[in-house]
């Protein structure tokens, strides 16, 4: 499934039109992660934020925006890192089919 | 010496005024300045954003910087409420100079006179410009 | 309130329009040229008498400007004086 998709060197989708929940799950599995409902909350949030504001926040703003929308518990760094151990901002964007955020290197 | 004991555990909350008095498109400073504003709010500071002088034009609707391959700042300004930045003010006199009315502004902002702005500036902890 | 200005012309004019009683203005960098009496469109002569006007001495010196050519109301500060102005006239607005 993933082999047919155009992706950049970090594995981010080049074309968001190719995104589906199945693609997100496959990309996560490839990174050794099984997506749960808690992951999906963050992923959907990421997509909605991007669609509304056409802007990608940095890590601190990202946590802040989640806190405002989904509650303080989910905006806590420790919670986000438990979900996405290699970096919540980068990987939430990746599984959301969005570009790599400018603040991620 | 117990250094930890001398460090404040919580940042002091200060009132920070961010003054936009020129266009946001001229150079990368405008974009960086907006990032600083959002970050200040993310660190729980009391943030006030003031548009005055030429800067009032940064609030115009229908800006299309994409035609010059420049980043559109309006989406970033739209995120201000997400970070609880609701204190956005525009100088009345500058609006008049450019013949602008409140309904020509792309985001919600309070129109305040120069003299009332001055009173607020005096009570601020720090003023930032770019 | 202290206004620090680094350019004459429109930047200085925008700043001067917003001065109120007992404000302090410090001219630095190219704005020190506004201290010169013969400087075109200098707004210094229009300022109310309760506005204190300072110029940074090293920026004057770097440009070969002499106090004799400047308005008598201008006071001169070195860097220590700059810091004192900041301490005594908060908040500070930089007009760049």
Of C35, C6, C13, the closest CA to residue C95 belongs to C6
CB count within 10 Å of CB B27 equals 11
- A12-41 pLDDT, tens digit per residue, is 999 999 999 999 999 999 999 999 999 999
Q: The complex's ipTM?
A: 0.90
- A34-70 pLDDT, tens digit per residue, is 999 999 999 999 999 999 998 889 999 999 999 999 9
| Cis upstream peptide for C91 (omega within 30°) | yes
Residue C93 to residue B129, Cβ atoms within 8 A = yes
What pLDDT, on a 0 to 100 scale, did the predictor assign at position B30? 93
Rounded to whole angstroms, the Cα distance separating A97 from A87 reads 16
Model pTM above 0.80: yes
Binding-face residues of A in 1-40 toward B, CB within 8 A: none
Nearest-Å Rg of the Cα atoms of chain C is 12
Paired with B60 in beta bridges are: B105
Of B43, B124, B42, B39, the closest CA to residue B89 belongs to B124
Q: Which of C91, C93, C95 sits opposite B125 (nearest CB)?
A: C91
Alpha-carbon distance B89 to nearest alpha carbon in chain A (angstroms):
21
Pull the structure tokens for residue B113.
């006179």
Low-confidence ranges of chain B (pLDDT < 50): 1
Chain B environment of C15 (Cβ under 8 Å):
none
Provide the CATH topology of domain A7-95. Arc Repressor Mutant, subunit A (1.10.10)
Write down the domain spans for chain A: 7-95
Domains plus CATH for chain C?
Answer: 2-95 (3.40.1260.10)
What pLDDT, on a 0 to 100 scale, did the predictor assign at position A105? 62
Residue B129 to residue C92, Cβ atoms within 8 A = no
Contact with chain B for residue A60, Cβ under 8 A: yes
Query: With contact defined as beta carbons under 8 Å apart, do B22 and B61 qualify?
Result: no
Query: With contact defined as beta carbons under 8 Å apart, do B22 and B29 qualify?
Result: no
Rounded to whole angstroms, the Cα distance separating A9 from A31 reads 14
Domains plus CATH for chain B?
Answer: 14-128 (3.40.1260.10)
Alpha-carbon distance A90 to nearest alpha carbon in chain B (angstroms):
18
Residue B124 to residue C96, Cβ atoms within 8 A = no
- C32-87 pLDDT, tens digit per residue, is 999 999 998 779 999 999 999 999 999 999 999 999 999 999 999 999 999 999 99
Handedness of CA B121, B125, B127, C3 (dihedral sign): positive
Residue B83 to residue A60, Cβ atoms within 8 A = no
Touching status, chains C and B (3+ beta-carbon pairs under 8 Å): yes
- Does an H or E element contain B126, and which? strand B126-128
Of C54, A13, C52, B93, the closest CA to residue A2 belongs to A13
Q: What does the DSSP 8-state code read for residue A8?
A: -
Alpha-carbon distance A27 to nearest alpha carbon in chain B (angstroms):
29
What pLDDT, on a 0 to 100 scale, did the predictor assign at position B35? 92
More confident residue, A90 or B10: A90
Which of A55, A99, A102, A103 should one mutate to test binding to chain B, selecting the residue with the greatest count of B CBs within 10 A?
A55
Residue A61 to residue B78, Cβ atoms within 8 A = no
Residue A57 to residue B84, Cβ atoms within 8 A = no
What pLDDT, on a 0 to 100 scale, did the predictor assign at position B6? 59
Please return the burial class of C57, using the count of CB atoms within 10 Å of its CB with bins 0-12, 13-18 and 19+: middle
CB count within 10 Å of CB A98 equals 20
Query: With contact defined as beta carbons under 8 Å apart, do B85 and B36 qualify?
Result: no
Pull the structure tokens for residue A57.
């926040």
Question: Which residue on chain B is closest to C95 by alpha carbon?
Answer: B129
Q: Tell whether the model's pLDDT for residue C3 goes beyond 60.
A: yes
């Amino acid at each position: 499934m993933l082999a047919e998709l155009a992706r950049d060197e970090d594995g981010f989708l080049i074309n968001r039109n190719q995104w589906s929940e199945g693609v997100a799950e496959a990309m996560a599995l490839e990174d050794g992660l099984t997506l749960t409902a808690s992951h999906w909350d963050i992923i959907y949030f990421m997509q909605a934020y991007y669609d509304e504001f056409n802007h990608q926040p940095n890590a601190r703003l990202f946590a802040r925006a989640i806190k405002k929308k989904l509650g303080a518990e989910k905006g806590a760094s420790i919670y986000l890192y438990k979900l996405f151990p290699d970096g919540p901002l980068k990987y939430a964007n990746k599984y959301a089919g969005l570009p790599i955020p400018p603040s991620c290197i | 010496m117990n250094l930890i004991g001398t460090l404040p555990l919580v940042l002091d909350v200060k009132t920070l005024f961010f003054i936009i008095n020129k266009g946001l498109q001229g150079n990368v400073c405008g974009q960086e300045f907006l990032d600083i504003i959002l970050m200040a709010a993310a660190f729980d500071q009391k943030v006030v954003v003031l548009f005055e002088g030429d800067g009032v034009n940064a609030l115009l609707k229908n800006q299309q910087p994409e035609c010059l391959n420049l980043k559109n700042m309006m989406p970033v300004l739209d995120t201000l409420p997400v970070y609880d930045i609701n204190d956005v003010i525009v100088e009345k006199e500058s609006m008049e100079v450019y013949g602008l009315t409140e309904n020509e502004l792309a985001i919600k902002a309070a129109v305040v006179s120069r003299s009332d702005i001055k009173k607020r500036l005096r009570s601020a902890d720090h003023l930032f410009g770019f | 309130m202290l206004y620090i200005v680094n350019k004459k012309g429109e930047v200085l004019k925008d700043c001067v329009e917003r001065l109120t009683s007992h404000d302090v203005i410090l001219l630095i960098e190219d704005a020190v040229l506004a201290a010169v009496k013969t400087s075109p469109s200098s707004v210094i002569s229009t300022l109310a008498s309760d506005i204190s006007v300072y110029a940074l001495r090293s920026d004057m010196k770097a440009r070969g400007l002499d106090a004799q050519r400047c308005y008598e109301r201008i006071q001169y500060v070195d860097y220590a004086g700059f810091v004192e102005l900041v301490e005594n006239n908060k908040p500070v607005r930089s007009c760049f």
